[in-house]
Structure 1
Amino acid sequence: MTTSSELLDLSPVMPVVVLDEAEVAPDVARALLAGGIRTIELTLRTPAALAAIEKVASQVPDIVVGAGTVTTPRQAADAADAGAAFLVTPGTTESLLDAVTATGLPFLPGAATVSEAMRLTERGLDTLKFFPAAASGGPAALKAFAGPLPQLTFCPTGGVSVANAPDYLALSNVGCVGGSWLTPGDAVAARDFERIEALAKECSALAA
C-alpha cells in the first residue's frame, strides 16, 4: 500500500476531480495516465463520486485513485468500501481523524494554520493537505510553516493553478500540489480526453 508521503511523490500535481457522471471516470483517469499523472482525487461532492471511484479502481488499476472532500466518518468508510486507495479531508475534526485512521488507508488531513498542523503532528502525522492554500497565505505561508514545523510535508490545494504551481513546488516542504484545472468541466462534458491528456502532460513537466 502506498504511504501518505509516497502519495506526494507520484505526480507533481494531484488532479482534484469533480464528476457528475460515474461512467466517464475511467476515461478521465486513462487520459491523466496517458499524460503522465499517476494519481487522481475524486471528490465526494456529487452523488456519482462513490461509483466513479469504484469504476476507476476496478478498470484503471495503474492509477492510484483516492476520495477527496471527505468530511464525515460515514464518507470515509463508504470511500474505503468503494475502493479508494487514499483519503483527503479539507479540514480535520477529532471524529473524522479517528474515522479515516480506522480505514487503514493513507490519508492527507487538511490544515490551514500552524495550530491545526501542530495538532495533527500530535497524532503522529507528518503529511498534510494545506487548504485553502491561496486564501490561507499561499507559498509565503507554507515557507513560514517550515521554520517551526520542518518535519511536515504538504500538498497545497485551493487556488493553485499551472501559473503558480511552480512557486509552491519550489518549497522544501511541498511534495505536490492539488488542482482542478487538469479536468475542466467543459472538457469532461464534451468527452475531450485529448485536452485532459494535454493538460496532464503540461503538469507532469512541472517535475522537471
Structure 2
Amino acid sequence: MHPLIPRLRAARIIPVVRTSTAARAATAVAWLQEAGFRVFEITMTVPEAPALIRALSADPDLLVGAGTVPDARTAEACIEAGARFLVAPWVDPALAPVAQDGGACLMLGAMTPSEIRAALAAGADMVKIFPAGSAGGPQHIRALRAVFPDVAFCPTGGVDARNAPDYLAAGAACVGMGGRLVDEALIAAGDRAAVRRAAEDALGIMRA
C-alpha cells in the first residue's frame, strides 16, 4: 500500500479544483482551507496548474495532488512542483514510472471490472471510479468491492455532501468532490460565505 493512502482515507473528501483561472483556483483552495480542508486536487485544466501546485505545496499543512494528468511529461512537471499524488480519469501506464520515481501516489480512472484490472496492471495505487454517479452510484462501488476487496476506490463525478457518506459506507476509501464543492460561479461572485457553508456542511456530514 502506498503510504499516502491512509491520509487520503482519513481526509475522506478530496476537493477537485477545476476553474477557468488560476486565481479562482487559489481562492477556492484558500476558502476551503479556512473551512478545514487540507487535501486538494488541482486539475491540469486550470491554467498554469503546476505553478499553482508549487505555491500551494509550500504550505506544509497541505497535501496537494495533480488531476486530469494527460501525459508523463506533465506528471513530471507536477511532481517537480510538489504534487504528492497524480490522478487521471483513464488508464495510462506511462504515468506509473513517473509516480514511482517521484514517490507519488497514482490514481488511475476506471468504471468496469476489466478497466479496474487494467488500472492495477498499469501501476495504480488507487482506482478512481469516474463518473461514479452515472455508473450506478454507491451501489456500483459496493458491487466492485465484492470483487476487489483490497482495492482503494475513490469515486468522483456526481458526488456531493449528501451522498458522500453512502459512498464511504459502500466501501470507498475516499471521494472526490468537484463542482458541488468548488462552485466557480460563487467564487467568481466573491461569495466566500456560500463556499464556506458548503465546505462546512460537507465536513460536518463526514464527521457525523
TM-score normalised by the chain length of structure 2: 0.87
Query: CA, structure 1 residues 8+159, in 2 after alignment: closer, same or farther (shift >3 Å)?
Result: same
Query: CA, structure 1 residues 151+166, in 2 after alignment: closer, same or farther (shift >3 Å)?
Result: same
Deviation of residue 124 (structure 1)?
6.2
Deviation of residue 14 (structure 1)?
0.9
Equivalent residue of 2:146, what SS?
Answer: coil
Which whole-Å CA distance do the structure 1 matches of 2:10 and 2:26 have between them? 19
How many pairs are equivalent?
Answer: 205
User: Which one has more relative contact order, counting CA pairs under 8 Å at least 6 apart?
Assistant: 1
Which whole-Å CA distance do the structure 2 matches of 1:126 and 1:76 have between them? 15
Alignment check: 8 A CA contact 2:45 2:68 kept: yes
Query: How do residues 81-96 of structure 1 correspond to structure 2 at under 5 angstroms?
Result: 81-96=80-95
2:158 equivalent in structure 1:
159
2:174 equivalent in structure 1:
176
Which whole-Å CA distance do the structure 2 matches of 1:206 and 1:3 have between them? 26
Which whole-Å CA distance do the structure 2 matches of 1:123 and 1:95 have between them? 8
2:20 equivalent in structure 1:
20
The amino acid that maps onto 2:199 is A
2:56 equivalent in structure 1:
56
Deviation of residue 190 (structure 1)?
2.4
Alignment check: 8 A CA contact 1:126 1:151 kept: no
Deviation of residue 65 (structure 1)?
1.3
Q: Which ranges of structure 1 fall in alignment gaps of 5 or more residues? A: none
Query: CA, structure 1 residues 191+14, in 2 after alignment: closer, same or farther (shift >3 Å)?
Result: same
1:142 equivalent in structure 2:
141
Which whole-Å CA distance do the structure 2 matches of 1:29 and 1:61 have between them? 14
Which whole-Å CA distance do the structure 2 matches of 1:56 and 1:147 have between them? 37
TM-score normalised by the chain length of structure 1: 0.87
Alignment check: 8 A CA contact 1:22 1:55 kept: no
Query: How do residues 3-152 of structure 1 correspond to structure 2 at under 5 angstroms?
Result: 3-58=3-58, 60-122=59-121, 125-152=124-151
**Structure whose residues are more often helix by fraction:** 2
Equivalent residue of 1:109, what SS?
Answer: strand
Query: CA, structure 1 residues 62+26, in 2 after alignment: closer, same or farther (shift >3 Å)?
Result: farther
1:201 equivalent in structure 2:
200
Deviation of residue 161 (structure 1)?
2.1
Deviation of residue 16 (structure 1)?
0.8
Alignment check: 8 A CA contact 1:73 1:100 kept: no
Alpha-carbon RMSD:
2.1
Query: CA, structure 1 residues 50+121, in 2 after alignment: closer, same or farther (shift >3 Å)?
Result: closer
The amino acid that maps onto 1:164 is N
The percent of aligned pairs where both chains have the same amino acid is 36
Greater mean deviation of Cα atoms: 182-191 or 101-110: 101-110
Q: Which ranges of structure 2 fall in alignment gaps of 5 or more residues? A: none
Alignment check: 8 A CA contact 1:70 1:89 kept: yes
